[in-house]
Copies of this chain bind each other. A is one copy, B any other.
Amino acid sequence: MTQLVILPHDEFTLRLDNIRKALKSNNIDAAVISDNANIYYLTGRVFAGYIYIPAAGPEIFFVRRPVGLEGDGVVYIRKPEQMAESIGLNAPETLALELDITSWTDIQRLSAVFPESKIANASPVMRAVRSVKSPYEIERLRLSGQKQERVYRRVPHLFRPGMTDLELQVEIERVSRLEGCLGQFRISGDSMELYMGNILAGENADNPTPYDFAMGGEGLDPSLPVGCNGSVIRPGDSVMVDVNGNYTGYMTDMTRTFAMTQVDALAAKAHSCSIEICKAIAAAGTPGVHAKELYGLAEKMAREAGLEAYFMGHHQKAGFVGHGVGIEINEQPVLAPRSKDILAEGNVIAVEPKFVIPGVGAVGIENTYVVTASGMECITSAPEQIISFS
């Protein structure tokens, strides 16, 4: 038998307490959590089942799989209807379910287990609590950042003249995996898809995608239209490397730009502008700042540099310049024009001011930052200039 909760006790208590506070302040009496990312957040492991969290009272872990877990509040069930037996007469007046993530069919089934409860939405509660990382979580992220940095330092040595973008990506994937990258790229919701990362070489960067990523790419097949497309990397091309940083269950997000030869002046200027925008956002990003102001700052700097037409894409533009990151790649806060998010100490934010320069490709960098009282601290600290392959 194995303990179900594998988080350190204080960490587990802290996270649960934060959720209970958030439930109370939203007048919610209990939540049922079943999303893998949220279950991992609450326990330190993924299991199939449900966590029942009353705002006041002990939590219950309803487990379907795997066999062999134990601990306070662990109850094995085969189907969600069996939760009613354990909760019994204490049915909550208002019950929060993960309405933004769970399918309509599953919500109907779960609601029917609690026929007298009024259903509320647990998704905003979980997003808000998870957006503020604990020191323990920040350590996990720092570790991912360090490992990811080691991989990026090896990228120039993986390149061989004549390589396609795919061939380079495959070697980066290999090195990442051997460094301990778990591969899994967790995205909340099921509309975004990406395998391991995005290597964009040359003009492929201007191919638009259906996905809500900062950059595009045609992809290898119309069934997964994003990223590298098998084109040979040529002198003068920029090669943007934005590859999976999930080494610990927590992801950092880092982008660097490489090239065989010097890129043209416009691309070089845009790359420098990206570095400057990152610095400016890192300095301005203190607790209490509105996320949309940081987007505005980036957009203004790009405009003043005369780079507006290339900022966050050329044929197709992304609508944000940064996003929270942690267990999933699309967490809060979001640095976008209409974002309502306000920065808080402990937010972890990937900032990715990127440009697509016609005839050259994508340039710019991305770093992951921790919001501290005095500004944003970078935890992905590889060299930022355009890095030469040769």
Contact = CB atoms under 8 A, between A and B. Distances in A.
Interface of A: 6, 35-36, 40, 44-49, 64-68, 97, 99-105, 107, 121, 123, 166-167, 169-171, 173-174, 177-178, 180, 182-184, 186, 189-191, 193, 195-196, 207-212, 216, 220-225, 246, 248-249, 315-316, 327
Nearest to A174: B174
A183 B184 CA distance: 11
A361 B102 CA distance: 35
Given A103-B189, A104-B104, A66 B184 contact: no
Given A170-B174, A177-B166, A177-B173, A221 B208 contact: no
B216 A66 contact: yes
A224 B186 CA distance: 10
Contacts of A105: 99-100, 121, 123
Contact of A208 (B66, B169, B222): B66
A332 to B, nearest CB: 16
A184 B219 CA distance: 12
A195 B184 contact: yes
Given A107-B104, A184-B195, A327 B223 contact: yes
Contacts of A207: 66
Contacts of A65: 208-212, 316
30 contacts: A36-B193, A40-B223, A44-B222, A45-B223, A45-B225, A46-B223, A48-B191, A66-B209, A66-B210, A66-B316, A68-B208, A68-B315, A97-B104, A99-B104, A99-B105, A101-B190, A102-B103, A104-B104, A105-B123, A166-B178, A170-B178, A173-B173, A174-B174, A182-B195, A182-B220, A182-B224, A183-B196, A183-B224, A184-B193, A221-B248
Contacts of A221: 182, 248-249
